[in-house]
Amino acid sequence: MTGTPSAAPKAPHPRPRGLPGPVLLAVCLALTAAPLVLAASRGGPPRPWRDEFATGLALVGFAVLFVEFVLSGRFRLVGGRVGIDRVMGAHQLFARTALLFLLVHPFLYATPLVPYDLPFDPTRRERLGLDGPTILSGVAAWVLLAVLVVAAIGRDGLPFPYEVWRASHGLGALLVAGLGTHHALGAGRYSTDPWLAGFWLLLLAAAASTLVTVYLLRPLRQLAAPWRIAAIERIADRTWSIRLVAERPGRFRFAAGQFAWVTLDRSPFSLVEHPFSIASAPADLPNLEFVVKEAGDFTSRLDRLRIGGRAYLDGPHGAFTLERRTGEGVVLLAGGVGIAPMLSLLRQAAAERDPRPWLLLYGNRHAGQIVHADELERLRGRLDLRLVHVLGEPPAGWTGEVGQFDARLLERWIDLPRMAGWLFFVCGPPTMIDTVERGLRARGVAARQIVAERFRYDLG
């Protein structure tokens, strides 16, 4: 079971495209700072510092709101390199920041609100120039934004399906952007400037076009590359294998470990699509496999889908791949259905005859939850793979590991400094990922060596 560490052979599949993290951050910061710069360049007679501060918060908060459309549009340029989970984490953090800035700004002004023009004050130094419609649009945007953010945070408690929430979130955000633009153009001291007004209108158009892309253009593209549902079978306790075959092979390429939003037995314009990691290897194309755990309305009724029905994919997405990463060996830490992208990585490594040592730590509550146990055993013959099953509730006579992914387990299997140059891939329930990431970091593994995939994006 010992392998000679060496570089992996060159992969024949595409590298995930996308902007590097620092570039993405710089673009977001530039977009956010742009209205401040435009406002500052306009000048004008001085106002109380509280007014300037309130306006500054509003300008930044409003610009952040537009950045949110780009972050949540699943654009490969945005999330291809850094990972959609990180991008969605930023989306949630930015939303809370924008909400805070926009909610507090009206209360900070020192200058009185005078709802009509003062002929001696064309630069709006002596008054906040809000007329009736401008106040209305501002208040409506203010309330709607708060509702959207609170509903997103408490999404699981809402009395309607995820798809309804998602559509209302997108359309609601566009409405906030429209109302906010109306408010800014009418009320803002600086936004009446043609450059800043043009900037807001440009961002509004860009926001609308992200929704057109997501809900219209992307489904149209998917129509041109349909898939067929070849098989759906239960492979473990509450866990299913979905197999698709491409009707027009060659149009879909991915890197092992990536995921796709999948629409099964419905039109690509349907809002019912779900993100699943691809469990098969790129080498298996035109066949694809997904391993899916029952979690809610959709995943608990997979047996009702028609074999032979059409399927559509939005993807590939995600950065949970070996592309652009070098490691002398690879450790996979999978909790439950977190095995799905690991299967893809292992299957592709076997197809490529990857010579590196691999270690798979695969945790489940009980043995009935283990998926593709026989194939994992067989992979040991095709790869330098060490396979360790970890069970929370082991059967009598179990000789494998018992318990959870805790510090003790990592101490037993993560052998540093021997694994100092290895890569560590983690996927599973959020608490498991957090524990493993903390444990690995505590054992001296560098953050850049750890790659995690989260099946939920929520910051909590």
Q: Which positions touch ligand FAD (CB under 6 A)?
A: 156, 162, 259, 273-277, 290-293, 295-299, 337, 340, 455-456
CB 187 to ligand FAD: min, Å: 36
Specify the residue, 61 or 338, whose C-beta has the smaller distance to ligand FAD.
338
CB 275 to ligand FAD: min, Å: 4
CB 343 to ligand FAD: min, Å: 9
Closest CA to 425 of 381, 367, 359, 336: 359
Q: Is the sign of the CA dihedral 89, 90, 95, 96 positive or negative?
A: positive
Tell me the Ramachandran region of residue 44: left when phi exceeds 0, alpha when psi lies from -120 to 50, beta otherwise: left
Residue nearest to ligand FAD (CB): 296
Q: What is the token pair recorded at 75?
A: 């654009």
CB 336 within 8 A of CB 364: yes
CB 232 within 8 A of CB 309: no
CB 318 to ligand FAD: min, Å: 6
Q: What is the dihedral of CA 149, 152, 154, 157, to 10 degrees?
A: 140
Specify the residue, 216 or 420, whose C-beta has the smaller distance to ligand FAD.
216
3-state helix, strand, coil in the chain (%, to 5): 45, 20, 35
Closest CA to 288 of 375, 236, 207, 226: 226
Specify the residue, 39 or 152, whose C-beta has the smaller distance to ligand FAD.
152
Specify the residue, 279 or 350, whose C-beta has the smaller distance to ligand FAD.
279
Q: Is the sign of the CA dihedral 374, 380, 382, 385 positive or negative?
A: positive
**Cα atoms found within 13 Å of the Cα of residue 22, Cβ hemisphere only:** 0
CB 274 to ligand FAD: min, Å: 4
Specify the residue, 292 or 409, whose C-beta has the smaller distance to ligand FAD.
292
Specify the residue, 112 or 154, whose C-beta has the smaller distance to ligand FAD.
154
Q: What is the token pair recorded at 8?
A: 């992996």
The one-letter amino acid at 332? L
CB 282 to ligand FAD: min, Å: 16
Specify the residue, 273 or 328, whose C-beta has the smaller distance to ligand FAD.
273
Q: What is the token pair recorded at 245?
A: 């075959």
CB 327 to ligand FAD: min, Å: 22
